[in-house]
Amino acid sequence: MPEHEPAKASLLFLTTQPRPISDYLPLIEAARALRRIGDIVAVGALSEANRRALAERGVRSLSLQGGASAALKAGLAECRDAWVILQDPAPGYSASDYPALLQPLVNREADAVYGVRFHRTSGDRLLATSPAFSDAALSLLTSAITDLRLSDLTTGMRAFRTDLLRAMPISASGEGLDVELAIKLAAQLFRFHEVPIHVEAEAARPTLREQLDRAATLVRYALLTNDADGLHEGYTTLLRMEEGAPRYNAWLGRKLARHLGQRVLEVGAGIGTITRQIAPGRELVVALEMDRFYYDRLVNLFAGLPQVRPLLSGVERADWERLAEEDFDSVLLSNVLEHIADDREALSNFRRVLRPGGRLVCLVPALPALFGSMDSAVGHFRRYSKAALTGLFEGCGFRVQALESLNVLGIPGWFINGRLLQRRGVPPLQLRAYDLVSPLVARVEERLKPSVGMSLLIVGEAG
């Protein structure tokens, strides 16, 4: 695309219910006059007569009966522009709102933009469209669960980055698509924006089936399946650890940060829990992450923190020669080394990127006898003994400066959950209970220096 040509948005009509062609035509004709509108596509319950009428106006259409997610996927395949407007072909919407809807995307201020519906009264005043009680309750509950504040979750006019939607697995077959999109976008920390749009009348009330579809989707993705895309089992545990144990994470961050310098390579940053603790005051934190799901979350999370630079790469494929040019004085791995198949080769690569005298700081799970189902769920290859960990560091050219056991209180819980009960995630109630006592546990451990714990913290100096 020539540089002077503005990026455009595809207009995608989605409907699972038959609509008269008169609902489409005003939006299509007005959209054609807007410079930001490119492809126009219609997918869903379309009669042959409607498809012919749309084709006469240059609109590509697909008649599809597979539900909302199938229609969305098929429609996105036909959209070739940078952004896409998802439009419900219901009466009352106006294409004159498209420029305002797209502006936050054009300005790169948002990844998803929702149109909040207003209607004009007989007194020529604009009032927010009053949603049905069920939709209002659904919006409030979704916001409470996802920490996402959307005034009009079920609006029929939304705009997104096209690549964002293409990469997101979607499975809702009915009206639950609204809820599924919001929950999955929120889980990835994508940026939301709302703009007012003007409709000619109050929104139609949802049917009982539509209400049930949305409620079932909310239960499925927000209450039963914590992993937003259903592909990362370990995400549930990571998210629970971040949200359920803030005091513990803050203490752990302070514990790790005291061993770090100004230029840090954090290997396996995950969802950024420790990154947030160590980043303030640092000159540079390169957050290395191999999983695209987590990497996207890191990019969004640290968009306003220039000293944090997420980098998408696995340890085995990292450009260590290029990373060595960053002059790191510290490499940090917080519960990561146990995920690496060849930990010895990994330590040799970390030594290559450290300046002389630089530090390798590792927090790893301890006590091989504790290895169980929860270790398997998050991809652990091993748990370490003190002797094995010391031998590994010294064999790779590091002088061990510190080695201590942490979190003795966590041993019984991990053993019961992972070995006896064969659970694959930490129960949230247990995490919250532990987090309440973790400040006291931390103070006791700082004073008593226990010889055993669920984790080991080791600090090695590069020779």
Model pLDDT, residue 87? 94
The stretch 398-425 carries a mean pLDDT of: 81
Model pLDDT, residue 148? 65
- Confirm whether 244 is domain-assigned: yes
- Confirm whether 451 is domain-assigned: yes
Query: 358: part of which helix (H) or strand (E)?
Result: strand 354-365
- Confirm whether 4 is domain-assigned: no
Model pLDDT, residue 150? 78
Q: What is the span of the domain harbouring residue 425?
A: 234-462
- Confirm whether 405 is domain-assigned: yes
Whether residue 228 has pLDDT greater than 50: no
User: Which band of pLDDT confidence, cut at 50, 70 and 90, is reported for residue 201?
Assistant: low
Q: Any idea which of 94-108, 286-300, 339-353, 358-372 has the lowest mean pLDDT?
A: 286-300
Q: Which of 283, 171, 174, 276 is nearest to 228 (CA)?
A: 171
| DSSP annotation of 325 | T
Whether residue 226 has pLDDT greater than 50: no
Q: Which residues pair with 289 in a beta bridge?
A: 312
Model pLDDT, residue 378? 75
Domain with residue 53: its CATH number is 3.90.550.10
- Confirm whether 2 is domain-assigned: no
Residues 174, 40 within the same domain: yes
Model pLDDT, residue 231? 43
Model pLDDT, residue 306? 92
**Antiparallel, parallel or unpaired: β 112-120 and 192-199:** parallel
Specify the higher pLDDT residue, 375 or 28.
Answer: 28
Model pLDDT, residue 1? 43
Highest-confidence segment of 109-113, 115-119, 384-388: 384-388
The stretch 58-75 carries a mean pLDDT of: 86
Model pLDDT, residue 2? 45
Encode pLDDT of 114-134 as tens digits: 999 887 555 555 555 555 555
Could you give the strand order of the β-sheet that contains 455-462, starting from the edge strand earlier in sequence? Answer: 308-312, 284-289, 263-267, 328-334, 354-365, 455-462, 398-406
Q: Which of 24, 93, 22, 15 is nearest to 59 (CA)?
A: 24
Domain with residue 457: its CATH number is 3.40.50.150
Residues 166, 242 within the same domain: no
Q: Which of 338, 307, 12, 47 is nearest to 157 (CA)?
A: 12
Single out the residue in 176, 197, 226 at which a domain terminates.
Answer: 226
User: Which band of pLDDT confidence, cut at 50, 70 and 90, is reported for residue 461?
Assistant: very high
Residues 208, 239 within the same domain: no
Encode pLDDT of 229-268 as tens digits: 444 445 555 555 555 467 778 888 888 999 999 999 999 9
Residues 205, 328 within the same domain: no
Residues 169, 56 within the same domain: yes
Q: Which of 80, 72, 78, 51 is nearest to 63 (CA)?
A: 51
- Confirm whether 1 is domain-assigned: no
Residues 156, 249 within the same domain: no
Residues 222, 323 within the same domain: no
Residues 210, 317 within the same domain: no
Tell me the average pLDDT of the chain: 82
Structure-token pair, residue 130: 């009053």
User: Which band of pLDDT confidence, cut at 50, 70 and 90, is reported for residue 170?
Assistant: confident
Residues 339, 387 within the same domain: yes
Model pLDDT, residue 237? 53
Single out the residue in 226, 256, 273 at which a domain terminates.
Answer: 226
**Antiparallel, parallel or unpaired: β 157-161 and 112-120:** antiparallel
Whether residue 18 has pLDDT greater than 80: yes
Residues 281, 133 within the same domain: no
The stretch 369-391 carries a mean pLDDT of: 88
User: Which band of pLDDT confidence, cut at 50, 70 and 90, is reported for residue 138?
Assistant: low
Model pLDDT, residue 84? 96
**Could you give the number of structural domains in the chain?**
2
Specify the higher pLDDT residue, 334 or 178.
Answer: 334
Model pLDDT, residue 427? 61
Residues 122, 16 within the same domain: yes
Specify the higher pLDDT residue, 432 or 150.
Answer: 150
Residues 15, 150 within the same domain: yes
- Residue whose entry in the numeric block shows the structure tokens 């379309």: 46
Model pLDDT, residue 227? 41
Single out the residue in 226, 251, 275 at which a domain terminates.
Answer: 226
Highest-confidence segment of 162-171, 220-229, 286-295, 420-429: 286-295
Model pLDDT, residue 221? 58
pTM greater than 0.85 (yes/no): no
